[in-house]
Amino acid sequence: MGRKSSIHIQPVKSNSEKHNTREVDPDYTIKDNELKNRNYSNISESIESRRENIEKLYNEKVGQKMQSKATPIREGVVVLDEKHFGKDKKNPDIEKAKEHIEKLSKDLKDKYKIETFQYHIHMDEGKDKDNLNYHAHLVMDMQNKETGRMVHLNKKQMAELQTEVAKSLGMERGQINSKAERLEHGEYRQKISELNASLKILEEQKKNVANEVRTFKEKFERTEKEINKIKFPQNKNVENMTAIEKEKERLKQLESEKENKGKNVEKDRGKDNDLNEELSI
């Protein structure tokens, strides 16, 4: 199943250009030269130069100086899928991805008057080389060149923009009105650090439980042996008691036989006496 579309827009940061071009390589990237070489940057103008031109046009159109805290340049992070790089997953085609991003940039300009003057395709982020997070950074001029003022999108327009991105990239749209929070790289690293710490604790607990189970098993085996030792003489005693009972029974039988023999002897004696009396007569 492919990834769902998403674009997250925020004011451009002062170090965005260096990070996006990898002039300064963020610590969250995968340190692999092959992946680094796959990244692509298209820059028609620097952020600094574009900011100067925006301020100049604003002054001409609006008749006043733009406030320093204004954020006319925004950066949109767009999710990409493997299909945007062609059919060969082992050899992603950056030219295919460029076509998709340029089409998206044109669609945004036609519909919202948002001009993308830089885009950067990143292929060196993710969990590992087998689980890459393909995405693009669109650096956008949010100024309406006809009025000189900034393009402000309300909640409904932002929802429509998400749908437009999905349509342009041929992706399934992300969940509407999702409350999912997108983390910045620093926040993401902090979360990962916290999760790793929790995982370490769980692994330690798992090890402790395994030790407890092993100790319990050893105690159980020792106890079982002790029980068997106790059972063994008990069985002997039972055997001895049984032998004694048998011997008593045998003695009773002997006594009975003796008594019967005695009675028989008395009978024989009686017969002898009777015979003697008959003879004496």
The pTM is what? 0.64
Angstrom distance (rounded) from CA 17 to CA 63: 30
Q: What residues have CB less than 8 Å from 180, skipping those under 6 apart?
A: none
Domain ranges, ordered by start, for the chain: 4-181
Pick from 10, 4, 7: nearest CA to 162: 7
- Residue-wise pLDDT tens digits, 200-259: 777 877 888 888 888 888 888 888 777 877 765 555 555 555 666 766 777 777 777 766
Give the architecture-level CATH label for domain 4-181. 2-Layer Sandwich (3.30)
pLDDT over threshold 90, residue 65: yes
Packing angle, helices 94-112 and 155-169, rounded to 10: 150
Tens-digit pLDDT profile for residues 120-158? 999 999 888 888 899 999 999 999 999 999 999 999 999
- Structure confidence at residue 253 (pLDDT): 74
> How much is the average pLDDT of 160-170?
94
Q: Are 265 and 259 in contact (CB under 8 A)?
A: no
Q: Is the pLDDT of residue 196 over 80?
A: no
The sign of the torsion formed by the CA atoms of 255, 261, 263, 265 equals: negative
Residue whose pair of structure tokens reads 């002897």 in the numeric block: 265
What percent of the chain has pLDDT above 90? 47
pLDDT digits (tens, 9 = 90+) for 106-115: 999 999 999 9
